[in-house]
Structure formats: structure tokens, C-alpha cells
Amino acid sequence: MTETAGNPSGVDAQLAGATLTIDLDALQANYRTIAKTLGSGTIAGAVVKADAYGLGIGPAGRALWNAGAREFFVAHPSEGVALRGHLPEARIHILNGAHAGAEDAFREHRLIPALNCLGDVERWRAYSTKIGEALPAVLHVDTGMCRLGLDRTEFKRVAADPSLLDGVNIETVMSHLASADDAASPQSAEQLAYFREIRKALPLGRASFANSSGVFLGPDYRFDLARPGVALYGVNPTPHTTNPMAQVIRLQAKILQVRNVDSPETVGYGASHQVVEPSRIATLPVGYADGYLRSLSSRAKAYIGDNEVPIVGRVSMDLITVDVTAVPEALCRPGMTVDLIGQHHTVDDLAAEAGTIGYEILTSLGRRYHRVYTGGAE
């Protein structure tokens, strides 16, 4: 097991309550699975916003580059600047666009903005004219998110007068699916039909449409450049069926204390869990301050080896309690580890128990874990 120098969380193994292991070989395998699914006609980009969905933009970005990714996407300009420090040659796209005043930084760090409305187009054009160079950009057209991108009225204006784009180098026209993770939703086909109209009216540059789940909606959704994010990190992009992605993270908490409860007692804040028969309760140094969500109280499962152990009582800020009555004592002593996320219990499993999605579990992963990166080489 190799440990990457410059561990971004910087928490020493002996001083941390839990270890988060990030398998960069699995991340690369997931990138290759997506590239293979897309086939040779579509470039597999990589979305690494929000610190690569919580896993670390430096190590994740470099591993994806080593696996062949060249087209990267982040949300904020600040994330693009950080990524540039790790990947000097990558093509870095900024989904949230270039707000007024950020233009010089975009040019300095070679960041490519998404132009999300006609005002963005106008500003990027004025800046391009000022410096005398048609700077690259992505034109984002909204087909159903109602969030960012040219709305229908704005798109009609551009389609009627494409000279509105003169002076800007529109390398890519993109749109974003709203319901791709729900294979039964009619919305994806509606968005696809509109995106095809958009391409017919504006056949410039490359077309980019699919996120992770979109990659798995079939060949019609793939176009020239895909923008997978969450699937790279192991979350199932096809929730209706088996996960085609490899698990990337493992989260192991160290047992702090184990107590025998011989008489009826309650556990934790609010006395929400009642012990009725002789039990053993182990306390682990992970809580909601680490992104182990409070909604997991008395809901989540954890594992000691192959033994399932339920979280009992409330998740508190720094601690959780698990019922280890069914596990041999030799396997649960202070200092031994419990898998909170692992082979038996995926990010998606934990998300379901918390009533949320894998995206939120990943991006909530705390800063107090000892982080270990394995693999990720060329």
C-alpha cells in the first residue's frame, strides 16, 4: 500500500479516528469502463468538481490523466486554478462560467468557461476582442434543467443570428440531463430531441450531453464528449440495475471503547436506543462533523469482517455507537477497525440509509480522516 506524499488532509494515522482509503486503480478502471462504454467516437471527459467529489482533486486528477483523460470539468474558477497546478496540460472547463472580473485569471490559467447566458457570451466576446484573440468557450444551452444555460428565447436569438457568437471560439456546445439516473423518465428523450434541434441549428464545435448516467442511456446520448462525474468515484450510474463501476473508497473507523451493558439502559443523546437484553456496545470516533450524517442514527449498518453491526442511537458530532453483541469479542477490541464503507457496504448503501444520494455522502467525507491513496500510476 503506497501513500501519496503531500496527503491533503494531513492527519497522521495514529492521531486520526478513521482511515479513508482511496483506490486510484479503481478510479482508473472506472474511467476505462466509461471510455469503453462510450466507444471510439466519443471522448470521455472527467468531472472533478468539489475536490473530485470529496476524494481529492490532485490525486484523482493525476490518476485520471494517467488513465487517459484530457478534458476536465470543474464548477468554480478557483477549482480550475487548483487543477491547473496539478495538470499543466489538461483542458479545463469551468461549468459555472466566467463572472465579470475573472477574465484575466481564465486567460492566465487557460480555463475554458461555459457561457451560460447571452450576457456571458457578450462579456467573453468583448474580452476576446480586447485581447485580440478568439478565446475558447463552451456554449451551454438549457434543455430542461432551468438552472444554467441559454433559455429557449436566448437560443432562438442565437439560432436566428449566429453572428452573435462571432469573435468567440465555441469549441463545444453542451447541455445537461435532469433525470438521466431514472431510466424510466420520459424527460431524457425530450431533452435529447431538443438538443438535436440545437445541433441542427448550431452545428459548430463538438456536442457534449451525457453525465455519468447519460453514458448508460445508450448510443444516442453520447455525442462527441461525455462529462461523467459520480460514476468515476464508484457510485452506481444505473440505479435500476447492478452497478457497473468498481468501489473506490473504504472507510474504516477504529474502536475506542467496548462496553458490556448487562441491565436495561439507553444509548446516546435523546435516549433514542433502548438496550433490553445483555449487549456489547462499541464506540467509534466518527460523527456528523466527519460527514457521517446524523440521519444515519439507528439506521446505518457497519461491518466487522463479514459480520454486520448496526449503528444504534444518535450519531453525535464526534462519535457513533454500534451494537457488536453478535460479533466474537476477539474481533472487537479497542484499536480494531470497523468498516463504515467497504466491500459489504457501499457508498450507495450508506446513502440509501441516510435518505440521500451517493454524491452527498462523497462530498461530505470529512477532513479528520487519515487519507491513504493507493495506485493511480500511468
Ligand X SMILES: *Cc1c(COP(=O)(O)O)cnc(C)c1O
- Residues of this chain that interact with ligand X (CB under 6 A) are 47, 49, 95, 176, 211-212, 227-231
Is residue 49 part of the annotated active site? The answer reads yes
Name the minimum Å distance from CB 260 to ligand X. Answer: 45
The three state secondary structure string of 145-167 is CCCCCECHHHHHHHHHCHHHHCC
3-class state of residue 255 by DSSP: coil
The residue type at 163: S
Cα 158–Cα 159–Cα 164 angle in degrees, nearest 5? 30
Alpha-carbon gap, residue 236 to 315, rounded angstroms: 26
Q: Which is nearer to ligand X, 90 or 309 (CB)?
A: 90
Other CB atoms within 10 A of residue 38 CB: 21
Catalytic residue among 31, 49, 127, 221: 49
Name the minimum Å distance from CB 229 to ligand X. Answer: 3
Name the minimum Å distance from CB 231 to ligand X. Answer: 6
Name the minimum Å distance from CB 359 to ligand X. Answer: 7
Name the minimum Å distance from CB 235 to ligand X. Answer: 8
Is residue 127 part of the annotated active site? The answer reads no
Q: Which is nearer to ligand X, 74 or 275 (CB)?
A: 74
Alpha-carbon gap, residue 315 to 288, rounded angstroms: 7
Q: Which is nearer to ligand X, 124 or 233 (CB)?
A: 233
Alpha-carbon gap, residue 124 to 73, rounded angstroms: 19
DSSP string, 336-368: -EEEEEBTTB-HHHHHHHHTS-HHHHHHH--SS
Q: Which is nearer to ligand X, 47 or 121 (CB)?
A: 47
Helix, strand, coil percentages for the chain (3-state, nearest 5): 35, 25, 45
Name the minimum Å distance from CB 261 to ligand X. Answer: 43
Q: Which is nearer to ligand X, 227 or 280 (CB)?
A: 227
Q: Which is nearer to ligand X, 18 or 249 (CB)?
A: 249
Catalytic residue among 36, 233, 254, 269: 269
Q: Is the C-alpha dihedral spanning 64, 65, 70, 76 positive or negative? A: positive
The residue type at 184: A
- How far apart, in Å, are the Cα atoms of 321 and each of 212, 252, 298? 35, 14, 9
Residue, CB closest to ligand X? 229
Catalytic sites, residue numbers: 49, 269
